[in-house]
Structure formats: C-alpha cells, structure tokens
Amino acid sequence: MVLVLGIESSCDETAAALVDGERRIVAQRIASQDDAHRPYGGVVPEIAARAHAERIAPLIAAVLADAGLELGDVDAIAATAGPGLIGGVMVGLVTAKALAMASDKPLIAVNHLEGHALSPRLADPALQFPYLLLLVSGGHCQVLRVEGVGQYRRLATTIDDALGEAFDKTAKILGLGFPGGPAVERLAREGNPKAVPLPRPLLGSAEPHFSFAGLKSAALRAKQAMDGAGASTSSARAGVVTKPNPARPEPVEGPALSPPSYTDADIAAAFQQAALDCVIDRTRRALTESGGLTALVVAGGVAANQTIRGGLEALAAEFGLPFVAPPLALCTDNAAMIAWAGQERLAQNNFAPDPLDIAARPRWPLDPDAAPVRGAGVKA
Ligand code: KG4
Ligand code: ZN
C-alpha cells in the first residue's frame, strides 16, 4: 500500500498527515496558531514562520508515532510549496526536502490550491473529472474547471477581497475576534438578514468575477451607523445626563433621522446572505457556461459555512448535478489534502519527483494561462 507523508505550513496551521492509496487518513495532526495571532486580529507572517519552525519536526515525529511507523515506511513526501506566506512555506518545504534526502524518497512539491481542489476526491471516491470547483478560502475565491490532476481552468476569481478575507474583516468590524468566519456564521444564526440593506457587488454582471470589498465596507458603515445611533439611545434609556461639550455645537433641531434599529447579529446575517447571493449568482453563471460536468464541488475554509453549503447544494440541484463538499475538517487547511494531492500525482503515468532545489512560491496560480483581471490587489 502506497503511503504518502503530507506537510502543510502555508498559513497559520502546522500540519502533517499520512494518507494511503485507499484514501485512508492513517494519522494526522494539526497545530493551530490561533492563540499566537489573536492579539493582532490576523495572521502575522513572522510569528507564523517562527511557530512553524518550532513545531514542524516534533509534529511529523508524532504523526509517524501515532501510526506506529517510521520514515522508512513512507513512499513519498509531499509538502506545500506555495502559494502562501513565504516564511511558513519555506519551513515546510525545506523540512520535506531534508526528509526526502535522508530517506531517499521522492519529493512532491504541492500547490496548496491543488490540495484544496483535489480534497473532495479524498473524501468521495466516486467524484470524477471534470467537475466545477468553487474554491473559497482566506486568500482565494475562484471558480475552476477541474479537468484532471494538474489540469485546472480558472473561470472566475475575485477582483479584490477573497471571500474568507471578507468574512474575517466583517468579524473584526463586529468585534468578534479571530478567526472570523466561524464567528460570523454563529452570530448570523441569531440575526435577520433582511434587517440591514447591503450591496451585492457584480451581481448579474457580464464579467464572470467576484468582488467583496464593497460589501465589507457597507457592513462597516452599517455598524458605524448603528453604534452612532445606539450610543445616544442607550444613554438616554439609562437616564445618563451628559454635560454640554463647548467644543461641539449643540445639534440643530431638524427632522429626526430614524436611528437604525438593527443588531450586530442582523449585520452578520445580512453580510452572510449578501455574500451567499453573490456566490450563487457567480457560480450559476459559471455552470451555465461550462458543460459536461460531473458535479458541483466546494472546497477551502469557507466551505465549512453551512449557509454557503446549503445555497450551493440547491444550485447544484437546479442544474441536475451532484453536490460534493468535503467534511469540515478537510475544508480548512490540513495536511491530509496535501498528502492526497501527492497520491494523485504519484498515480499519474508520467510521474516524476520534484528536484530538491525546487523553490517555494508565494504566488502560484493553478491556471497559469488565466487572463489577468481588472482591479487592484488581484489575487492570482
Ligand atoms: O482554507 P483555509 O483554512 O485557509 C486558507 O487557505 O486561506 O481558509 C480559512 C478561511 C478564513 O478566512 C476563515 O475565516 C474562513 O476560511 N472560514 C469560514 C468558516 N470557517 C472558516 N468562513 C465562513 N464560515 C465558516 N464557518
Ligand atoms: Zn487553504
């Protein structure tokens, strides 16, 4: 039985896993760095790189021990070689190179996005090519036609923020802490999505792409409006007497603006609904333009979101396609998907190990032929 060791270190999870050719995750461990980054409200690349360097060797040793195996029992070593935070990627890739060299086993340099793109096939043996993949993570929001291992055609991407990034920023606006996506989803359950009107950027647009920056900014303005109005009403309700401030002129009496009467939960729910509407509209467009598909598939961290999953499931049904979403633990960053991508590569007729001098890549588009899109800060 072919056994691949996978290593993942492109963002803030240090992870190692052993996956065999029968799709069994023989052992896996994930060391999250959430606590180290929480005070900063986001991932700090330098802290991430140092944490990966401290944790990666003991983590790999622990995964081998969990399986009762040694490095010599492994057939190949797969590691994320990009895209991602370059310090972390280098730690994982250099570790994989050292292990490959010491054990004389093939090195497989995996594109992190390819790990996400193929992860649904680890969970579902029946999933065949070509499928339409919505890849939604902290750094990416893309629709890809997955035609085979190493064959990815990008049909759409974001012209500004990634979807997970928009979730994280909205969480920050609402003071929900880090990581933000799951917190926004939890709070949204208590809110009314119709209570706050938010825009749906590029909905119905002739171009295929996504945009979330305007939605996030609208969520910020809604929060500011709510806090502005809420502060005065709550102090009035509590009977607080405020001293006149000479630096600030007394407000001129005029027609009263009705204060927004929504809550943080309403903003979270409205944001999530607007994001979902955009995702469905853009994915529907891609499905309409792309024929011969076997399934609609979602992967990446935001695929853990139940509302997004539910919307996509209904969309797949509209097109008569099966809907495939990996289990939650395979959606967020993990090393089992990297080991599985290694298995898929090994199974190719023309498999060749990667050279030991292969470079880590901070940017590494899955579809190198995809045309550049308009807009600043474009994610590859
Ligand atoms: O794939 P991933 O673990 O890392 C990257 O490669 O980026 O994705 C992380 C992203 C974060 O932005 C996180 O907030 C988001 O996925 N995320 C979610 C949920 N769980 C994770 N977003 C919305 N709802 C969730 N339940
Ligand atoms: Zn990822």
pLDDT digits (tens, 9 = 90+) for 173-203: 999 988 899 999 999 999 999 999 999 999 9
pLDDT for the residue numbered 309: 97
- Find the 285 Cα to ligand 1 centroid distance in Å: 24
User: What pLDDT is stored for residue 238 in this prediction?
Assistant: 35
User: 208 — phi, psi (to 5°)?
Assistant: -85, -5
Residue 236 has a pLDDT of 35
Q: Is the pLDDT of residue 253 over 70?
A: no
84 lines ligand 1 (CB under 6 A): no
Which residue has the least CA distance to atom 16 on ligand 1? Answer: 301
Rounded mean pLDDT, 66-88? 97
What is the mean predicted confidence (pLDDT) over 145-164? Answer: 97
Q: 12 CB under 6 A from ligand 1?
A: no
- Answer whether residue 378 shows pLDDT above 90: no
Asked if pLDDT for residue 336 goes beyond 80, the answer is yes
Residue with the bigger pLDDT between 234 and 72: it is 72
State the DSSP H helix or E strand holding residue 131, giving kind and residue range, or none if neither.
Answer: strand 131-136
The mean predicted confidence, pLDDT, of the chain is: 91
**How far, in Å, are 15, 159, 172, 220 from residue 214 at the CA level?**
34, 11, 16, 10
**pLDDT higher than threshold 50 for residue 235:** no
- The least confident of 44-58, 141-155, 235-249 is 235-249
Cα–ligand 1 centroid distance for 279 (angstroms): 15
pLDDT at 228: 83
Q: Is 304 in the pocket of ligand 1 (CB under 6 A)?
A: yes
Residue tagged 């979602």 (tokens): 298
Secondary structure (3-state) at 13: strand
Pocket test for ligand 1, best of 8, 13, 167 (most atoms within 8 A of CB): 167
Question: What ligand 1 atom has the least distance to the C-alpha of 185?
Answer: 24
- How many percent of the chain have pLDDT more than 70? 90
Is the CB of 164 inside a 6 Å radius of any atom of ligand 1? yes
Q: What is the pLDDT of residue 233?
A: 40
88 close to ligand 1 (CB < 6 Angstrom):
no
Buried b (16+ CB within 10 A) or exposed e, 88-104: bbbbbbebbbebbeebe
What pairs with residue 31 in β-bridges?
14
Task: Identify which of 86, 26, 100, 14 has the alpha carbon closest to the alpha carbon of residue 335.
Answer: 14
Q: Which ligand approaches the C-alpha of residue 332 most closely? A: 1
Q: Is residue 108's pLDDT more than 60? A: yes
Could you read off the pLDDT of 5-47 as tens digits, one per residue? 999 999 989 999 999 999 999 999 999 888 888 888 788 999 9
Q: Is the CB of 343 under 6 A from ligand 1?
A: no
Q: Using pLDDT thresholds of 50, 70 and 90, give the confidence band for residue 318.
A: very high
Dihedral sign computed on CA atoms, order 112, 115, 118, 119 = negative
Question: Can you tell me the distance from the alpha carbon of 223 to that of 219, in angstroms, rounded to the nearest whole number?
Answer: 6
Round to the nearest angstrom and report the end-to-end CA distance of the chain.
36
| Residues 352, 362: Cα–Cα separation, whole Å | 23
